[in-house]
Amino acid sequence: MRAYRAIISARFRVLLQYRAAAAAGFGTQLFWGLIRMMIFAAFYRSTTAAQPMTYPEVVTYIWLGQAMLAMLPWNADRDIMAMIRSGNVAYELLRPLDLYGFWYCRALAWRTAPTVLRAAPMFIVAGLFLGLQAPPSLASGAAWAASMFAALLLGCAITNLVSISMFWTVSGQGISLLIPAAVTILSGMIIPLPLFPDWAQGVLSFLPFRLYAGHIAPEQVLAVLTHQLAWTVALVALGRGLLARGVRRLVVQGG
């Protein structure tokens, strides 16, 4: 475990150096967050029908999504993609480490470092000036934090699956275009999940942001976390199986 902690630490420190990129990302996410606020403001002003979320809750939802945007698993590790295409992935197989675990640790650092750099200023600016509300209770806030950690583990498992899929593709552009569309819709980044039709709620019922807003009682958080962790275990097992199969079929420089 010491080697894997070192991988996460080293990769995390490297990614923290990209402060200019984080500042640019923060500005972009702030801009899109303001646009989404205006869209939903128009929506709520145009109807008197009861909605599953109030407008202030939607605003909080928007800024939570913008703060955690970098954590979404909507792309593959470009370094791994390049290594698979070039054949340099053979060097990865020489490491005295489990390859899946090594890539998973890289994904953990990759998803957390940019999120830390962008989320902190986003919470401050949105909380002070743009309507981001605090959780209704300390228990709701703690439940949201625990669920976000579980979501991070799940997201890294999905990231690894996308990276591993490069063993069976020529360029990886197809999956790279498909994943962002699926992630932005199913994560609620386009439309908050509680506003989806009733027939879709059975699939979309487990959402970390609802914990923050208090839509799921803190005493029910164990069921939510169990659901997330079960998916994580399943996707990790799938990823390990695909990686083992891909490595067995791998041909490097004709060898």
Calpha distance 149→139 (Å, rounded): 15
Report pLDDT for 233: 92
Half-sphere exposure of 174 (CA within 13 A, CB side): 6
Calpha distance 195→180 (Å, rounded): 20
Distance of CA 131 to the CA centre of its chain: 23
Domain that holds residue 179: 2-249
- Domain annotation covers residue 58: yes
Domain count, the chain: 1
Contacts of 52 (CB under 8 A, 6+ apart): 194, 195
- Domain annotation covers residue 255: no
Q: Is the pLDDT of residue 255 over 50?
A: no
- Domain annotation covers residue 254: no
Closest CA to 174 of 161, 162, 185: 162
pLDDT mean across residues, the chain: 84
- Domain annotation covers residue 194: yes
Interior angle at CA 162, CA 185 and CA 76, nearest 5: 85
Span 63-73, pLDDT tens digits: 988 998 888 88
Closest CA to 18 of 121, 113, 125: 113
Span 222-231, pLDDT tens digits: 888 888 888 8
Calpha distance 177→43 (Å, rounded): 29
* pLDDT band of 172, cuts 50, 70, 90: low
Q: Is the pLDDT of residue 143 over 90?
A: no
- Domain annotation covers residue 81: yes
The structure's pTM equals: 0.85
- Domain annotation covers residue 146: yes
- Domain annotation covers residue 143: yes
Distance of CA 121 to the CA centre of its chain: 18
Span 7-64, pLDDT tens digits: 899 989 888 888 888 899 899 999 999 999 999 999 999 988 888 888 998 999 899 8
